[in-house]
Amino acid sequence: MPIAIGLEGSANKLGVGVIHHAAYPHSSHRSRQDSPLSSSPPPPLKASDGDASLTWPPVRILANLRHTYVSPPGSGFLPKDTAAHHRRWVVRLVKQAMKQADVRIEDIDCVCFTKGPGMGAPLGAVAIAARMLSLLWNKPLVGVNHCVGHIEMGRSITGAENPVVLYVSGGNTQIIAYSAQRYRIFGEALDIAVGNCLDRFARVLNISNDPAPGYNIEQMAKKGNILVELPYAVKGMDVSFSGILARIEELAHRLESSAQGQSEPWKDEDTGEVITREDLCFTLQETVFAMLVEITERAMAHVGAKQVLIVGGVGCNMRLQEMMGMMAAERGGSVYATDERFCIDNGIMIAHAGLLAWGMGFKTGLDESGCTQRFRTDEVWINWRD
Partner 1 sequence: MPRALSITTHNASLGEAPLTPEWHSRTVASETAAHKMSFTAVPTASNSYQLNDSNEVQPLHSLPPPFTTTSSPGQTSSTKLIRQGAEALLYYTHFLSPSLPCALKYRPPKSYRHPILDKRLTRARILAEARVLVRCKREGVSVPAVLGAGWEEGWIAIEWVNGSTVRDAIFGRKTWRQENQASYEGGEKDLVGLMHKIGCAVGKLHQVGVIHGDLTTSNLMLRPTVSGAEGGEEPSATSAATPFDGTITLIDFGLAAQSSQEEDRAVDLYVLERAFGSTHPEVEHLFPEVLKAYGESYKGAKVVLRKLEDVRMRGRKKSMIG
Which CB atom, from 69 or from 358, has the smaller least distance to partner 1?
69
Q: CA 75 → CA 188, 202, 213, 302, distances in Å? A: 26, 9, 11, 40
Which CB atom, from 323 or from 353, has the smaller least distance to partner 1?
323
Residue 380 C-beta: closest distance to partner 1, Å: 14
Which CB atom, from 109 or from 297, has the smaller least distance to partner 1?
297
Helix (H) or strand (E) holding 348: helix 347-359
Which CB atom, from 57 or from 224, has the smaller least distance to partner 1?
224
Residue 20 C-beta: closest distance to partner 1, Å: 30
Residue 160 C-beta: closest distance to partner 1, Å: 19
Please give the full DSSP string across 101-162, using - where no structure is assigned.
HT--GGG--EEEEEEESS-HHHHHHHHHHHHHHHHHHT--EEEEEHHHHHHHHHHHHH--SS
Which CB atom, from 98 or from 127, has the smaller least distance to partner 1?
127
Distance from chain centroid for Cα 139: 28
- First-to-last C-alpha distance (Å) of the chain: 22
Which CB atom, from 109 or from 218, has the smaller least distance to partner 1?
218
Q: Cα-Cα-Cα-Cα dihedral of 153, 236, 193, 296, to 10°? A: -30
Residue 84 C-beta: closest distance to partner 1, Å: 18
Q: Which residues contact 7 (CB under 8 A, 6 or more apart)?
A: 15, 16, 90, 94, 111, 112, 113, 114, 126, 129, 130, 133, 347, 350
Residue 276 burial (10 A CB sphere; 0-12, 13-18, 19+): middle
Which CB atom, from 63 or from 221, has the smaller least distance to partner 1?
221
Which CB atom, from 55 or from 173, has the smaller least distance to partner 1?
173
Residue 281 C-beta: closest distance to partner 1, Å: 14
Residues that bind partner 1 (CB under 8 A): 10-11, 117-119, 171-172, 177, 179-180, 184-186, 188, 190-193, 196, 227, 229, 231-238, 243, 247, 286-287, 290, 293-294, 297-298, 300-302, 322-324, 326-327, 330-332, 373-376
d(CA 173, CA 159): 22
d(CA 245, CA 265): 22
Asked whether 5 and 17 are in contact (CB, 8 A), the reply is yes
d(CA 360, CA 57): 13
Q: Which residues contact 172 (CB under 8 A, 6 or more apart)?
A: 117, 147, 188, 189, 193, 312
Residue 298 C-beta: closest distance to partner 1, Å: 4
Which CB atom, from 95 or from 223, has the smaller least distance to partner 1?
223
Instruction: Map residue 69 onto helix, strand or coil.
Output: coil
Residue 139 C-beta: closest distance to partner 1, Å: 28
Residue 238 C-beta: closest distance to partner 1, Å: 7
Please give the full DSSP string across 23-55, using - where no structure is assigned.
S-TTSGGG--TT-TTTTSPPPPSB-S-TT--SS
Residue 2 C-beta: closest distance to partner 1, Å: 30
Which CB atom, from 117 or from 149, has the smaller least distance to partner 1?
117
For residue 288, which amino acid is it?
V
d(CA 284, CA 22): 43
d(CA 300, CA 321): 16
Residue 336 C-beta: closest distance to partner 1, Å: 17
